[in-house]
Amino acid sequence: MERIGKITEISGPVVKAVGLHGAKMYEAVRVGEEELIGEIILVRGNEVTIQVYERTEGLRPGEKVIGTGEMLSATLGPGLIGMIYDGIQRPLPEIAKAVGDFISRGVEATPLPMDKKWKMKKLVKVGDRVEEGDIIAVTQETKTIEHRIMVPPGIRGKIVEVNEEDKLTVKDTIVKIKTPEGKVVEICAVHKWPVRRPRRFKRRLPPTTPLITGQRIIDVFFFIAKGGVAAIPGGFGTGKTVMQHQLAQWADADIIVYIGCGERGNEMTEVLERFPELKDPRTGRPLMERTILIANTSNMPVAAREASIYTGITIAEYYRDMGYDVALMADSTSRWAEALREISSRLEEMPGEEGYPAYLAAKIAEFYERAGVVETLGSKPRVGSISVVGAVSPQGGDFSEPVTQNTLRVVKVFWALDTELAYRRHFPAINWMRSYTLYTEALKKYFEEKVDRNFLEYRKKALSLLAKEAELLEIVRVVGPDALSPREKEILEIARMIREDFLMQSAFHEIDTYCPIKKSVLMLKTILHFHKHAMEAVKKGIGVDKIFSLPVTVKISRMKELPYDVYEKEIALINEEIDKEFSEMGVPTCIGE
């Protein structure tokens, strides 16, 4: 029986209604004559408060509200990859075909291609017993991603029928399962999952593998684990969006989910135009063959901005459950928090710091806690992961504001973007003095076994040189450079070499846009090798200017441009040249080795 209520009050995206009997929190509803999508966020007696995910102009008190009996859910199945959705999973390309470039209210389109036939390989037969999470069939969603169709959560039993047809739509029954209660359940390739409810798994596992990004300052200094969480706070113009694009393109993940949450329309347009043209560096295929985009620009309804984060993380959990490593980029969580603040004020809730709701910290933690490495459901459990990187846009670059502070309480990697570095054209503009990672111990074994046994020593040495540089620059500001000893001047020069020749990386250079971690380590090792010889030369009284004018310094500065297929050989030659040139100056070639 259809439940219908009546609108009594409208305040922006928040609508109040009465008469919707049996209404539940977070139930999806249809609002007004145009049946706009909404969600119940407060139940008080016979009155419900609804946040509407579309513009509410023109709604009038007295119009109907229809209860659906379902939670706001994501539709999950083959066809997700390569799609561009809005915050409530409406496919924007399909809507554009139907109504043009400007989306009208109440327009709908199915999130997945319901009539497309997929070639499915069944992995079960009649008589098999299956549990929730077991893979019953696979289909090739794209050239690079195999879609694994699983028994939905909450269902287990015995296979009593298997559809023998090779090609099926997502609505066609694949198998029938008889549950222990005797009920026969039809399983197809598509199902829905409430976006605000985390998908279940067997157990959480500790992170042991880094998420390689190809960005030197991240991979060597402030690394993130697969299944880890990181924040990129920074003021306007510091390069948050470019960093997110770089991570989305180069991160060592199977699936990328990119959420443009409340970003300016021109930035989101750049993403939508650029991503379909990008090539996947691992396969040479289009990057969109393993990417899902969720576009929710700042001029879209504010309530949908709040939902977009949950839609994205639910899709990420779905692919995690298949056993994939997923990287989710949220740009930016500040806009999401602003949506929470606006809705909270319309609900007349008690405001917290800077007007944000008092539960802001809990909401942020709830989102980031859905990341992690997990053992999935199923009789043969798989291991999957979700790594979440959230951009934060503090006004004026003020990291003490509530969204940044509450984010830092839950994330384990902090990439602090610095306005001063950006003005100096130092990109990525990650401040090495303020940034940190808490995954050092978790990833220590991996780095020592798979990268270089002295990896963490090189990292520690380089960071200490940069810290010493900061101290010396303070002295220079007070008393001038002439007060420094030759040893201290050498430290300033080697730190400059680390900054300019190692940390600076061009996102638009054909080769330097991505740096393999092995190349990153060899580059840093070479700079530190030069540093050892330079320190010995200083002890012998050789001038710092003479040391850093050696011809090999030019080759060190160009290591970042060495092609992927020759960098090992070329860097080895550079190290030999360092030994040779210092030897000609009377410095031994095996110092501290």
C-alpha torsion 78→317→315→253, nearest 10:
-80
Specify whether 341 is located in the same domain as 266. yes
For residue 87, being part of any structural domain is answered with no
For residue 79, being part of any structural domain is answered with no
DSSP per-residue string spanning 207-248 = --SB---S-HIIIIIS--BTT-EEEEE--TTS-HHHHHHHHH
Q: What is the pLDDT of residues 385-434, one digit of tens each?
A: 999 999 998 887 888 999 999 999 999 999 999 999 999 999 999 999 99
Looking at every residue in the chain, the average pLDDT score rounds to 91
The pLDDT value given to residue 511: 92
Specify whether 145 is located in the same domain as 65. no
d(CA 564, CA 272): 29
Q: What is the pLDDT of residues 434-475, one digit of tens each?
A: 999 999 999 999 999 999 999 999 999 999 999 999 999 999
The pLDDT value given to residue 106: 74
For residue 589, being part of any structural domain is answered with no
Which whole number is the average pLDDT over 106-115? Answer: 88
CATH number where 239 lies: 3.40.50.300
DSSP per-residue string spanning 90-118 = -BHHHHHHHH-SSPPTT----SS-TT--E
Specify whether 364 is located in the same domain as 220. yes
Specify the pairing of strand 291-296 against strand 191-194: unpaired
Closest CA to 274 of 290, 286, 257: 286
Specify whether 393 is located in the same domain as 528. no
Least confident of 28-42, 71-85, 100-114: 100-114
DSSP per-residue string spanning 136-152 = EEEEESSSS-EEEEEPP
CATH number where 546 lies: 1.10.1140.10
Specify whether 258 is located in the same domain as 377. yes
Specify whether 178 is located in the same domain as 215. no
Residue 283 or 311, more confident: 311
Specify whether 227 is located in the same domain as 334. yes
Three-state SS for 376? coil
For residue 406, being part of any structural domain is answered with yes
Specify whether 515 is located in the same domain as 566. yes
Going by pLDDT thresholds of 50, 70 and 90, the confidence category of residue 92 is confident
CATH number where 144 lies: 2.40.50.100
The pLDDT value given to residue 1: 53
> Both tokens of residue 144?
């690079």
Using the predicted structure, report yes or no on whether residue 30 has a pLDDT greater than 90: yes
For residue 302, being part of any structural domain is answered with yes
For residue 95, being part of any structural domain is answered with no
Largest CA distance in the chain: 93
Going by pLDDT thresholds of 50, 70 and 90, the confidence category of residue 592 is very low
Least confident of 257-261, 271-275, 341-345, 490-494: 271-275
Using the predicted structure, report yes or no on whether residue 128 has a pLDDT greater than 80: yes
The domain in which residue 12 lies consists of 3-71
d(CA 580, CA 129): 70
Going by pLDDT thresholds of 50, 70 and 90, the confidence category of residue 590 is low
The pLDDT value given to residue 58: 87
Specify whether 9 is located in the same domain as 124. no
Please name the residues in contact with 304: beta carbons below 8 A apart, sequence gap of 6 or more: 53, 54, 86, 87, 88, 296
For residue 89, being part of any structural domain is answered with no
Going by pLDDT thresholds of 50, 70 and 90, the confidence category of residue 282 is confident
Using the predicted structure, report yes or no on whether residue 272 has a pLDDT greater than 90: no
The one-letter amino acid code at 1 reads: M
Specify whether 430 is located in the same domain as 563. no
DSSP per-residue string spanning 476-512 = HHHH-GGGS-HHHHHHHHHHHHHIIIII---TTSTTT
Domain end (from 162, 190, 218) = 190
Domain end (from 440, 471, 496) = 440
Please name the residues in contact with 565: beta carbons below 8 A apart, sequence gap of 6 or more: none
For residue 47, being part of any structural domain is answered with yes
Report how many domains make up the chain: 4
The pLDDT value given to residue 235: 84
Specify whether 392 is located in the same domain as 486. no
The pLDDT value given to residue 107: 81
Three-state SS for 271? helix
CATH number where 16 lies: 2.40.30.20
d(CA 477, CA 500): 21
Specify whether 234 is located in the same domain as 138. no
The pLDDT value given to residue 593: 45
The pLDDT value given to residue 495: 97
The one-letter amino acid code at 177 reads: I
d(CA 516, CA 527): 17
